[in-house]
C-alpha cells in the first residue's frame, strides 16, 4: 500500500462515485437510433464529455444540436433507474471533510446533485457541472476552478477519474490523478488505480488528507 498526501480531493461523478451506466447507455442509444448512428461509437465518445459536445460531433444543424441538448439534459434530470453508488463511494465521501472535497462532472449541476442524493451522497458545497464552465473535459477548466473555489493549490489536489477525458483534464490542471475502474489506455499508463473506492483508505493528519492506495500494477 502507498500513501498519497493532499490538501483536497476532486471527484468525477459517473463511473467514479455513481454507477449510472445503464441509464447513460440507454440515453445515448436512443439518440443514436434516431439518427442512424452506431450506438457503441456514440457511447464511447460520450463517456466523460459534456452532452453538448457529443451531440455537436454527430449533428451539423445548430438548431437540432440545441433541441437534442435540451432533450438529453431532460433525460439526465429525470432518469434514475439503475443508478447506484460505485462500491465504497458513500463511505469514502463520508470520511472526507466537507470543505476539502469537490465534484467536477460533465453532467449539469442540478441533475448531478439529484443523482448523488439518489445513491446517498450529500452534494458538496463546491460542485462544478457542465453548465458552470465554458470548456468541458478534457479541458482543465473544471478541475482548476474546483481547486480555486476550495482555496487550495491544484498541485496539492488529487482527482479521482474513470475516463481518458477526465484524466487528461485533471493532469492538465496540475493535479495528481487516481484511476477508478477498468479503463486502461495511454492516458492511464503509470497512474495509481483502484477497482473501486473500497480500496481507498482515508485518514486526516493535521491539515492534510492521507489516502492509502494499492501499489501500482
Q: Which residues are catalytic?
A: 12, 14
d(CA 175, CA 143): 8
User: Phi-psi region for residue 148, left (φ > 0), alpha (ψ -120 to 50) or beta?
Assistant: alpha
**Residue 90 CB: number of other CB atoms within 10 A?**
16
Helix axes 51-58, 21-35, angle to 10 degrees: 20
Q: What is the DSSP string of 58-84?
A: H---HHHHHHHHHHHHHHHHH--TT-E
Q: Is the dihedral angle over the CA atoms 176, 180, 186, 191 positive or is it negative?
A: positive
d(CA 88, CA 198): 4
Burial of 78 (0-12, 13-18, 19+ CB in 10 A): exposed
What is the end-to-end Cα distance of the chain in Å, rounded? 11
Q: What is the dihedral of CA 117, 123, 129, 132, to 10 degrees?
A: 140
Amino acid at each position: 500500500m502507498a500513501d498519497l498526501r493532499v490538501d483536497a480531493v476532486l471527484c468525477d461523478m459517473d463511473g467514479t462515485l455513481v454507477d449510472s451506466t445503464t441509464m447513460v447507455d440507454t440515453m445515448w442509444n436512443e439518440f443514436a437510433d434516431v439518427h442512424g448512428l452506431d450506438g457503441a461509437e456514440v457511447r464511447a465518445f460520450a463517456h466523460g464529455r459534456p452532452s453538448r459536445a457529443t451531440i455537436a460531433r454527430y449533428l451539423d444543424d445548430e438548431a437540432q444540436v440545441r433541441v437534442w441538448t435540451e432533450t438529453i439534459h431532460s433525460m439526465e434530470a429525470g432518469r434514475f433507474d439503475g443508478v447506484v453508488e460505485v462500491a465504497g463511494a458513500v463511505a469514502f465521501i463520508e470520511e472526507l471533510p466537507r470543505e476539502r472535497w469537490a465534484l467536477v462532472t460533465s453532467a449539469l449541476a442540478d441533475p448531478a446533485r439529484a443523482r448523488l442524493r439518489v445513491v446517498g451522497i450529500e452534494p458538496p458545497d463546491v460542485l462544478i457541472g457542465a453548465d458552470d464552465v465554458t470548456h468541458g473535459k478534457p479541458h482543465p477548466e473544471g478541475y482548476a476552478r474546483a481547486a480555486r473555489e476550495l482555496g487550495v493549490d491544484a498541485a496539492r489536489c488529487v482527482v479521482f477519474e474513470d475516463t481518458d477525458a477526465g484524466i487528461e483534464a485533471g493532469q492538465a490542471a496540475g493535479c495528481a490523478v487516481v484511476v477508478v475502474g477498468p479503463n486502461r489506455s495511454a492516458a492511464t499508463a503509470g497512474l495509481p488505480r483502484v477497482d473501486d473506492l473500497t480500496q481507498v483508505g482515508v485518514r486526516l493528519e493535521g491539515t492534510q488528507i492521507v489516502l492509502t492506495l494499492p501499489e501500482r500494477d
